Structure 1
Amino acid sequence: MNTTSFPQNAWYAAAWDHEIKHEISKRTLCNKELVLYRRTDGDVVALEDACWHRLLPLSMGKLNGDNLVCGYHGLEFDGNGRCVYMPSQETVNPSACVRSFPAVERHRLVWVWPGNPALADPDLIPDFHWNDDPAWAGEGGTFYSLKCNYQLVIDNLMDLTHETYVHAGSIGHEAITRVPFEVGHTDREVTITRWMKDIDAPPFWARQLGREGLVDRWHIIHFQAPSTVAGDVGVAVAGTGAPEGDRSQGVSGFFLAAITPETESSCHYFWNFVRDHHLDDQRWTTELHLAHVNDGNGVYEQDVDVLEAQQKAIERHARTPFYNLNIDAAALWARRLIERMVDAEREEQPAVEEKPVRLVSRS
């Protein structure tokens, strides 16, 4: 039975694909301690980080070919989590295994399914095609073990009025707080749309547009339950048709966020900002990366400061957070969809003990 604030039956980003090599990596995901490594055939293995014998973390062991060797007594487990060697005996106990988690590589990320493996459909992996689409360029990064509940990050991204205050001088603008917005939702997705017409471009966007004058600016933010956000953002020369669909006189970007619960009060925040211009110019990639992460002065680092301070305040104050405003509509719908997923898992009957299953797919 699920007793957490996050669904278990979902795909969560565990690492960038380049981070997982033929060596042991540790990761905590949805309160589950995992060990990850890449087999010699290139497939990714995700196993429970606890030996069947005496529960020593397998991450303290070593690899023997494609098998993981416990660093305590030498028990050896294959990529499916089954023990294939025990010391001082020829017969391996058939019950000796560690749990294996479905793992799929897609759009530059390794996604892991912590719940029932029988439900791990790769078609349910969130659409992050912008990460590896040649029509977009960006670098990306991660805040591992960000010290806040993952839903606070979702709140942050679904209400961009905070840009006016947290990110003044870069992407903030008072128009964000003045114009109306629209919120729509399905049973798994929430979208908030905001158009800011005939405004001065904030510095971040003026630099990319490369010309002076008023602009039409847009925020079209898509949330997919339980924890991914893709934000369609940009500016175009005012009056050239961007609100009607013609962005030819503008520049566009997508901010991508895969937010993975680590514990109830921490998460991993995989982010990227991709652009549709100067695709082959590494200087632009570096400049926009540094606009987001730059020795504590980047846009995302400013968010981290706020989010971690917010988590501390939640733990300090007795009252139930939060009071809500109109601007919280999209974030509230996102929380509602997450809550429905969690409630559905809580209502399920306890499952029979699962056999180790590993699903690996690369696309």
Structure 2
Amino acid sequence: MLLRNCWYVAAWSSEVRHDAPFARTIANVPLVMWRSGTELAVLEDRCCHRGMPLSSGTIEHEHVRCIYHGLRFDATGRCIEIPGQARIPPSAKVRTFPAVERHKWIWVWLGEPSAADESTIPDTHWVDDPAWSCKPDGYLHYDVNYLLIADNLLDFSHLPFVHPDTVGGSRDYASHSPTVERRPDGVRITRWTPQTSAPGFVQRVRPYPGLVDRWNIYDFSAPGILRMDSGMCESGSGGHQGERIGATQFRSCQALTPETECSTHYFFAQPHNLGAEPEVTEAIHAGMVDAFLEDHAVITEQARMLERNPAMRMVPLGVDAALLHFRQVIDEKLRQESAHA
């Protein structure tokens, strides 16, 4: 089962246009999106006449036209034209979904529309804050359940092993246990690693000749949203005490959106404070893509093995506290939705 009563990241703003429909499936629900004037149209991607995907059609005068029999729908899902038929039945309409565009992401609510509270959308303002720089288009597709990716993001002890040359740094990173704070919608994880090597993706844009003190402090909330304050400074320069002057800082924003029970959309951006030079931002983004492709390979291989042996019992370790709590949060939310179905 997948959650319905939550805000999912459906697309980057740049993906949804005025001149063509855009298709994406979220939690088994096929969606079609386009821009209708100043409105953002998000409909079920299924014509009410014969079930043809509306995303296979065209945008005409800010409306979507079905490619099969030519029915035209407006942004509210109402059919406004049936070729060859003057009367339009009241039932000729397509389901719509609440949608909000905020900080380069398009958020969609799949559940009961009256419960869609925009104030609960997580803050990711760093993505388009002029004080920070990033490339707002990070995306990977996974053919695995989104919770396996969440497991990966909730336990950074894998960094020096999976990512030795990208985001990992030295192996001593894994020896420092994080603080895990349980929250109603997820967890907050705080990890400090003093006197360690700067990771490769940082060294390529801002070389550190000596050791650094490094931090990763992040919230991971349902359905799968990560917002992280991370960075490093010269070892002993006061980072742990909150002294950030001259430090390299990031505000990573990542979102896991299940496509189906067996596939996932992964959105990411890495806002940084190293200036607005395009080549720096491009290098940082490329470093993150390299790291996330390393995760992709490992998680995909893991998923294929679990498919071969679904009854495998995983041995829990101390580093699993955060991911176990997050799964409990998801299970509880699913129980609540089932109880009110």
Question: The TM-score by the shorter chain falls in which range?
Answer: over 0.9
Return the offset for 1:168. 0.9
Residue correspondence of structure 1 range 136-285 to structure 2 within 5 A: 136-172=132-168, 173-278=170-275, 280-285=276-281
Which range moves more in the overlay, 125-134 or 82-91? 82-91
TM-score between the two structures when normalised by the length of structure 1 = 0.89
Cα distance in 2 between the residues matched to 1:122 and 1:194: 30
* The one of 13, 29, 32 aligned to 2:26: 29
Aligned partner of residue 283 in structure 2, secondary structure: helix
* The one of 321, 324, 330 aligned to 1:329: 321
Counterpart AA for 1:188: D
Cα distance in 2 between the residues matched to 1:208 and 1:194: 23
Instruction: Show CA shifts across 1:253-295 (max 9, x none).
Output: 12221111100010110011121122x21110111112122xx
Query: 1:9 touches 1:119 (CA, 8 Å); kept in 2?
Result: yes
Aligned partner of residue 342 in structure 1, secondary structure: helix
Q: Is residue 2:338 matched to residue 1:346?
A: yes
Instruction: Show CA shifts across 1:168-187 (max 9, x none).
Output: 12322212221122100221
Return the offset for 1:74. 1.6
Query: 1:196 touches 1:218 (CA, 8 Å); kept in 2?
Result: yes
Cα distance in 2 between the residues matched to 1:314 and 1:37: 38
Cα distance in 2 between the residues matched to 1:97 and 1:238: 62
Query: 2:167 touches 2:199 (CA, 8 Å); kept in 1?
Result: yes
Percent of aligned pairs sharing the same letter: 38
* The one of 122, 126, 131 aligned to 1:126: 122
Cα distance in 2 between the residues matched to 1:81 and 1:331: 39
Residue correspondence of structure 1 range 21-60 to structure 2 within 5 A: 21-22=17-18, 23-39=20-36, 41-60=37-56
Return the offset for 1:38. 0.8
Aligned residues: 339
Counterpart AA for 2:30: E
Return the offset for 1:206. 3.7
**CA, structure 1 residues 321+118, in 2 after alignment: closer, same or farther (shift >3 Å)?**
farther
Return the offset for 1:233. 1.5
Counterpart AA for 1:42: T
Counterpart AA for 2:63: N
* The one of 105, 108, 115 aligned to 1:112: 108
Cα distance in 1 between the residues matched to 2:23 and 2:313: 33
Residue correspondence of structure 1 range 301-312 to structure 2 within 5 A: 301-312=293-304
Return the offset for 1:200. 2.8
* The one of 291, 312, 320 aligned to 1:299: 291
Aligned partner of residue 341 in structure 1, secondary structure: helix
**CA, structure 1 residues 47+91, in 2 after alignment: closer, same or farther (shift >3 Å)?**
same
Return the offset for 1:87. 3.1
Query: 1:14 touches 1:27 (CA, 8 Å); kept in 2?
Result: yes
**CA, structure 1 residues 197+43, in 2 after alignment: closer, same or farther (shift >3 Å)?**
same
Query: 1:226 touches 1:337 (CA, 8 Å); kept in 2?
Result: no
Query: 1:208 touches 1:251 (CA, 8 Å); kept in 2?
Result: no
Return the offset for 1:320. 4.5
Q: Which runs of 4+ in 1 moved over 6 A?
A: none
Aligned partner of residue 5 in structure 2, secondary structure: coil
Cα distance in 2 between the residues matched to 1:116 and 1:66: 26
Aligned partner of residue 275 in structure 1, secondary structure: coil
Query: 1:265 touches 1:311 (CA, 8 Å); kept in 2?
Result: no
Counterpart AA for 1:273: Q
Cα distance in 2 between the residues matched to 1:342 and 1:322: 23
Q: Counterpart in 1 of 2:309?
A: 317
Which range moves more in the overlay, 203-212 or 71-80? 203-212
Return the offset for 1:208. 4.6
Return the offset for 1:188. 1.1
Return the offset for 1:79. 0.7
Return the offset for 1:62. 1.6
Aligned-residue RMSD, C-alpha: 1.6
Structure 2 gap segments, 5+ residues each: none
Instruction: Show CA shifts across 1:218-246 (max 9, x none).
Output: 11121121110112211111112111111
Return the offset for 1:211. 3.4
